Structure 1
Amino acid sequence: MRRHMLVGGAARRLIGPFLGSPEGRPFPPNNNNNPFERSLRQLSGAGALPQLTKDRYPQVKRRDFAELNEKHLGYFKNLLGENRVITDKDECQGFNIDWLKSVRGYSQCILKPKTTQEVSEILKFCNDNRIAVCPQGGNTGLVGGSVPVFDEVVLWTGLMNDIISLDENSGVLVCQSGCILENLENFADERDLMIPLDLGAKGSCHIGGNISTNAGGLRLLRYGNLHGSVLGVEAVKADGEVIDCTSALKKDNTGYHLKHLFIGSEGTLGVVTKVAIQCPPKPRALNVAFLGLESFDDVLACLRQAKRQLGEILSSCELIDNPSLDAVTSHLNLKSPISVYPFYMLIETHGSSCDHDEEKMHGFLESCMSDGLVRDGTTTNEIGKMKAIWELRESITEGLLHDGYVFKYDISLPTREFYSLVPVMRERVKDAVRVCGYGHLGDGNIHLQVTLKEFNEEVLRIIEPFIYEYTAKLRGSVSAEHGVGFRKPKYIHYSKSPGAINLMKQLKVMMDPKGILNPYKVIP
């Protein structure tokens, strides 16, 4: 096999010519259109509404909460004003449906507070009157955690979008919870800093929702999870009490770290209203490699090489299997820069020296090619081409939607077993349009997807609970980064011991004794 790498220039080819246009451009022009946003718009305008959650899941019963009346609405309008209390049925619809169109509530009231004090007064009133509340940010979740199950009042944080401060010495940014992630990224970028979280939904998702679900994202391998990056939060309990834990200190060893109660609790213990997050310096040098490999054993060997040889500059290591990439190239008309292979790896580095990082990337790729691990690939540090490569990865969800109905699973497995579930599921679901796996190889988080032409209850029974039983046998997690939400409470025992679940229930009763905060979610 002929192997070569062009050292000069921003884009280098490892093997063979670029695929793509006659001019040799490997990608179509980048439209700067976030793939998650495209799929969101597509779903928003797509045909029939999903079945009501109460009808699709009749085993879930409405609890003994109050039904809204004119007195309740009068209080909300007096507090917020007419324009920030939405009761029009058509306007409420978008807040009742998750973006996957898999669950649908029927809330008749959307509240839009601007301040922590308004959130506090809303929750105190709802608690006193036993009105159920569904906190909602950008509504980009994948487990039904951000929409009502029945007729809960929706507390939408989109107007709580002020950036309060940024200490450029420490890199600590303080903001309200309704700030859109991409806006925070742009703000930090202008000051040579970065937000240590990057998601495909960054154009819509809110930082408060990210924290409430402990979102993982594309660069957790380098920057860690939000339990480490978030230095403090302000949250409002169900009874309206404001818990101010907005420490901006890296070291604050004064008793219990209460912020951790709210990170990942999905709005069931309190509503996050303010955030203090550590922003690392913006990298001066970025490189992206897109590689083709023949086997998962080669993928694992390549991962080991990446960790050894790229070390401190390795920021992302993503796996994409052939059926996942095919969903993008077939349905969305995006071009792969290399030929067809069973597996692809997308590797990114963040560093401070272009020459140093290119040398390390060059050495890593040379060794992988010499060992026969990488069969084809391209590497670049041009912004446009890096975005185009990332678009292939971030457009997979959108591409799969074109198959029909998508069963989506977000699990963590030991790295050696990262892909083992995919061939097993192909054997089990023989009528599927597609069974594929992709995700964050560097931290063991695989997104397994099964697509059908339309929802099928029988196929669901074939998949669940088998997929969670399989995960539990390998001591994996049934939810890696998307949370538990409405879809997974009955499966949480596969990842949590009875003692741990009991303690979670005790915390819920202590902090929300009437159970008004995001009911039917997280707690089994």
Structure 2
Amino acid sequence: MIIIKTMMLGLIRGRMMSVMAGRALTALPRSKARLLTSHQSQHLHSASSSCQKCELTSKRYNVQRGKFSAVSEHDLKFFQELLGSHRTVLGEEELEGHNTDWLGTVRGASSVLLKPKTTEEVSAILSYCDQHQLAVCPQGGNTGLVGGSVPVFDEVIVSTALMNQVESVDTWSGVVTCQAGCILEALDQHVAEYGLMIPLDLGAKGSCHIGGNVSTNAGGLRLLRYGSLHGSVLGVEAVLASGEVVNCLSAMKKDNTGYDLKHLFIGSEGTLGLVTKVAINCPPRPAAVSLAFLGLQSFDNVLKTFKAAKDQLGEILSSCEFIDQSSMECVEGNLKIKSPLDEYPYYMLLETSGSNGDHDEEKLNNFLESTLGSGLVSDGTVATEPSKMANIWALRERIAEALILDGYTYKYDISLPLPHFYKLVEDMREHLGSNVVRCCGYGHVGDGNLHLNFTSRQYEKEILERIEPAVYEWTSQVNGSISAEHGLGFKKRNYIHYSKSLGAINLMKQMKKLMDPNGILNPYKVLPD
């Protein structure tokens, strides 16, 4: 049965001018669509409150501390004179949420959190830390999933939370320039006032910072349509370990002068420099958005439906998401969210966005008629009303939150050739058997990004050893990538050889040594021991 909803989204008119905003972005009132946000924040609290159950990362993974200094009273005096006591946060309780990831799977022991507001303050902090051999952990919204944004030992945490100024919005070229601490959702709503959109959309958009997104090269739901941040980010300002400011903040869409240095900071997870500002290319905001939610009987039909969507929907296809039955059962059972469809082995979400609602709706209806008629799709519903789209998106975006309620989650973010996309889930399900509560897969089938998840009642080293390196070996054998969009962080750094050659790894180490000779920036991350 097809349920067709016809309510059109309003057209947002942009102001054709270049605007110097000079405006701070804090978290705006959050919609229910496209984010974990308030739901995630509850589990941020639950993860923090369960810190005592989570071993220190250094102990659980037997990490040897680098030859860094410990923070002294002299160091604290410098930080307090630079930032003031209110932006120099001390105390175990105050730092609890910053020392632990929101999943509650890694935990550090930092005793000081710094909150600079300007690039100059970041420069002074890093220069001092470099001179005094103090390790630094850059931190944005702390929504990462591989332990890249929390300390391993007692690193000084440098938060971008107060660096939330939008410097300019150029509507002629469609470029926003802002500080690294702008919250993604707030930034997207800000550029919406000018008829633009941020080409990145994530489940954690209500909490994550744009600087963290750039530093991890976050992918998200719109990559199929708008590509990765390597293409969308036009310029970056970053501070090196020495305190030197590298200004590559060009907002030009064509700048062919020498090495494109901004790419060194996109995806390097704060190990080469701390990103302080970014310039992002923003496409026009679509006037009409539609969402199709489909039920399918086989994964082969999922792949054929994706191909049909690319052929028939073409330029209006903006997202193609996949959910397996186990993931859907988790959301429905743990969060009590009801699917509008009956039970199927596989589900797909197809989002279209364009400038003409009638045109897009006709194309989507023709696509559904075709795929239902051919038997590729067994059932489906279409929505254009924002509230109904929000409810459907929640089924996909709250899976990570639902999995937490199973107990402990082992999460893997992997890129795979589409013919092998779901076979990994099936093989690992057979490999682990009854050792885990759940083995499920979901993700961005449009770009080959699988989110593979296992849950157990509590963390068990034996389960982790059965998963790793088996998952990475399987991925390597089909020429996939062990990290699709979350980065390597702490958890994956020693498995990088499954995706990168020895020559590439050695070159990365040389770049790290050149740009951060003392190794103070986000140590124990990205590069292998």
- TM-score normalised by structure 1 residue count: 0.94
The residue number in structure 2 matching 1:479 is: 483
The residue number in structure 1 matching 2:514 is: 510
- Distance in structure 2 (CA, Å) of the matches to 1:318 and 1:36: 20
Q: CA RMSD in A?
A: 1.3
Q: Is the 8 A contact 2:320 2:350 kept in 1?
A: yes
> Which residue, out of 177, 189, 192, partners 2:192?
189
- Distance in structure 1 (CA, Å) of the matches to 2:35 and 2:143: 13
Name the SS of the counterpart of 1:356 in structure 2.
helix
CA deviation vs aligned residue, 1:286-321 (integer Å, no higher than 9, x gap): 110000000001111101100000011100000000
Letter in 2 for 1:238: A
- Distance in structure 1 (CA, Å) of the matches to 2:40 and 2:438: 19
- Distance in structure 2 (CA, Å) of the matches to 1:441 and 1:292: 15
The yes-or-no answer on 1:259 pairing with 2:240 is no
> Which residue, out of 500, 507, 520, partners 2:504?
500
The residue number in structure 1 matching 2:273 is: 270
The residue number in structure 1 matching 2:219 is: 216
- Distance in structure 2 (CA, Å) of the matches to 1:285 and 1:275: 28
- CA offset at residue 8 of structure 1? 7.4
The residue number in structure 1 matching 2:96 is: 93
The residue number in structure 1 matching 2:239 is: 236
Name the SS of the counterpart of 1:45 in structure 2.
helix
The residue number in structure 1 matching 2:36 is: 35
The residue number in structure 2 matching 1:346 is: 349
Structure 1 residues 96-495: aligned runs within 5 Å: 96-431=99-434, 432-495=436-499
Distance 1:383 1:514, change over 3 A: same
Letter in 1 for 2:182: C
- Distance in structure 1 (CA, Å) of the matches to 2:467 and 2:450: 16
- Distance in structure 2 (CA, Å) of the matches to 1:241 and 1:33: 37
Deviates more, 1:164-173 or 1:81-90: 81-90
The residue number in structure 2 matching 1:44 is: 45
- CA offset at residue 421 of structure 1? 0.4
- Distance in structure 1 (CA, Å) of the matches to 2:3 and 2:410: 42
- CA offset at residue 34 of structure 1? 4.1
Name the SS of the counterpart of 1:347 in structure 2.
strand
The yes-or-no answer on 1:69 pairing with 2:55 is no
Letter in 2 for 1:492: I
Unaligned runs of 5+ in 1: 12-29
Percent identical pairs in the alignment equals 60
Name the SS of the counterpart of 1:199 in structure 2.
coil
- TM-score normalised by structure 2 residue count: 0.93
Q: Is the 8 A contact 2:34 2:393 kept in 1?
A: no
The residue number in structure 1 matching 2:524 is: 520
- Distance in structure 2 (CA, Å) of the matches to 1:7 and 1:520: 51
- Distance in structure 1 (CA, Å) of the matches to 2:92 and 2:158: 16
Name the SS of the counterpart of 2:433 in structure 1.
coil
Name the SS of the counterpart of 1:350 in structure 2.
strand
The residue number in structure 2 matching 1:15 is: none
- Distance in structure 1 (CA, Å) of the matches to 2:304 and 2:279: 38
Name the SS of the counterpart of 1:92 in structure 2.
helix
Letter in 2 for 1:516: I
Q: Is the 8 A contact 1:320 1:438 kept in 2?
A: yes
Q: Is the 8 A contact 2:115 2:158 kept in 1?
A: yes
- Distance in structure 2 (CA, Å) of the matches to 1:177 and 1:73: 24
Distance 1:64 1:9, change over 3 A: closer
Q: Is the 8 A contact 1:158 1:178 kept in 2?
A: yes
Q: Is the 8 A contact 1:36 1:395 kept in 2?
A: no
- CA offset at residue 88 of structure 1? 1.8
Letter in 2 for 1:394: E
Letter in 1 for 2:50: A
The residue number in structure 2 matching 1:26 is: none
- Distance in structure 2 (CA, Å) of the matches to 1:6 and 1:85: 55
Q: Is the 8 A contact 1:412 1:478 kept in 2?
A: yes
> Which portions of structure 1, spanning 4 or more consecutive aligned residues, are displaced by more than 2 angstroms?
5-11, 30-37, 45-48
Deviates more, 1:31-40 or 1:87-96: 31-40
Name the SS of the counterpart of 2:284 in structure 1.
coil
- CA offset at residue 6 of structure 1? 6.3
- CA offset at residue 379 of structure 1? 0.5
Distance 1:345 1:75, change over 3 A: same
Name the SS of the counterpart of 1:373 in structure 2.
coil
Unaligned runs of 5+ in 2: 9-30
- CA offset at residue 434 of structure 1? 0.9
- Distance in structure 2 (CA, Å) of the matches to 1:229 and 1:43: 30
Letter in 1 for 2:211: G
- CA offset at residue 35 of structure 1? 2.7
